[in-house]
Amino acid sequence: MTHASSPPVMPEANGDRNAMLDWFRTMRERWPINWLPERRLCHLFRYSDILSVLADPATFSSNLRMAPDQDIFRPFAKGNFLFMDAPRHRELRGLVNQAFTARAIADKRPRIAAAANDLLDTLHEQPADLATGFAYPLPTAIISDVLGIPAGERAQFHRWTDTFLTASRDAEIDNMFADAFVEAVRDSVAEMNAYLSDQVRQRRAAQREDLLGALVAAEVDGMRLDDEEIVGVVALLMQAGHSTTAMLICNTLLALDDNPDAFAEVRARPERLAAVVDEAMRFSVPTPETMRITTREVELGGNTLPAGTVVVLWLASANRDETVFTEPDRFDPRRTPNPHIGFGQGVHFCLGSSLALQEATVALETLLSRYSEIVVDRDAVEVYQTDSLLAVRRLPVFLRP
């Protein structure tokens, strides 16, 4: 068999998930470190290579993307610790972690179940769209509750989040800060900034027992968050936590629909749902890639990468690496251990991973407890098509009590 002399290009964004998986497999086997010197760009596909990069934040910086240079985006730049390096990342994350773990990651199961049931009560059509009617609004309801947003004011949070999601997943927009994206979200950003700034002022005037109040009160080594940093942190928690959790719920349902034996087992043993969700995070990671930029010249797989090289880390490929996972293309909720990196690794490991897993698990528990039959209308499923992400746009499901 004759192999191509150069790596195959990434498949077009046409909704074909299998084409992406085939590309990952080929790249892991033949071009695991795909260095493109003319573009100062390097793609990594193997688990071990990606872990080595994530373990060296001094060489592989997260300070890669900045918000647009406009006043309304300044809080995003100040509060988005995902794209910060030490020491500022450590300082800001430490403050956020103090608030987030102390006040927000108490057991939210009753609240999540109540919100899930409320949403399911509104689904009367068959098939019901579990993406727009359930998976996407549920995380918005929970993060709003955790933040302490009054129930009557939460509809606008869903509207803002939906605007960001639609803009960032639109097939026409492949640059997070392209003019088209900025124009699409400008009004929502301005409204959200004004609203959250007012909420912060209220908590400075009178402390409350919620996440916003905890962020206002958080203090580490004499450092505290200013108002714009808090607004930026909340925006990050809303957007990152919302989309990841919503996609995890949808992806888990699709995986179970494709694997009736696993579906039958989890119906018989619902206590195994947490393992099912964790395996779905490996099998269909909502964020398939992340990026770093080199701070100095570095050797990688026999290649010399100069400072300023963008390194694309394909988490979705690492989670299918045959050297780490037995039968990686099989959905196996009994997989033990399951060292996937769907939530990242190292200093940037997802702060909200526990809450996301809890939300997805309880959401699915609620579905299973209410319906004796859950059947996905596969021909009607729609996805957001971008270069690297196949996220569910519509998930029509037939539900029988």
Residue 12 tokens read as 């077009």
Please tell me the predicted confidence (pLDDT) of residue 236.
Answer: 84
Phi (first) and psi of residue 111, to 5 degrees? -70, -40
Distance of CA 227 to the CA centre of its chain: 25
Q: pTM to 2 decimals?
A: 0.90
Please, what sign has the CA dihedral across residues 167, 170, 173, 179? negative
Please tell me the predicted confidence (pLDDT) of residue 386.
Answer: 62
Are 243 and 131 in contact, with CB atoms under 8 Å apart?
no
Please tell me the predicted confidence (pLDDT) of residue 248.
Answer: 95
Q: What is the 3-state secondary structure (H, E, C) of 200-232?
A: HHHHHHCCCCCHHHHHHHCCECCECCCHHHHHH
Q: List beta partners, residue 400.
A: 373
Please tell me the predicted confidence (pLDDT) of residue 60.
Answer: 96
Residue 277 tokens read as 């969700």
Rounded CA-CA distance 208/191 in Å is 23
Are 323 and 47 in contact, with CB atoms under 8 Å apart?
yes
Other C-beta atoms within 10 Å of 85: how many?
18
Rounded CA-CA distance 338/278 in Å is 8
**Which residue ranges form the domains of the chain, and what is each CATH number?**
17-400 (1.10.630.10)
CA angle (300 as vertex; 298, 301 as ends), nearest 5: 155
Please tell me the predicted confidence (pLDDT) of residue 120.
Answer: 97
Phi (first) and psi of residue 89, to 5 degrees? -60, -45
Query: How many residues appear in the chain?
Result: 401
Helices 353-370 and 273-283: crossing angle in degrees, nearest 10, is 120
**pLDDT tens, N- to C-terminus, the chain (401 residues):** 334 468 888 877 666 788 889 999 999 999 999 999 999 999 999 999 999 999 999 999 998 765 566 777 888 778 787 787 888 888 888 888 887 775 566 678 899 999 999 999 999 999 999 999 999 999 988 988 888 888 888 888 878 877 877 776 554 444 555 677 788 888 888 999 999 999 999 999 998 888 899 899 888 888 888 999 999 888 888 877 778 899 999 999 999 999 999 999 999 999 999 999 999 999 999 889 999 999 999 999 889 999 999 999 999 999 999 999 999 999 999 999 999 999 999 888 888 888 899 999 999 999 999 999 999 999 999 887 665 556 788 999 999 99
Please tell me the predicted confidence (pLDDT) of residue 76.
Answer: 79
Please tell me the predicted confidence (pLDDT) of residue 2.
Answer: 37
Side chain identity, residue 258: D
Q: Which residue has the tokens 């995003």?
A: 76
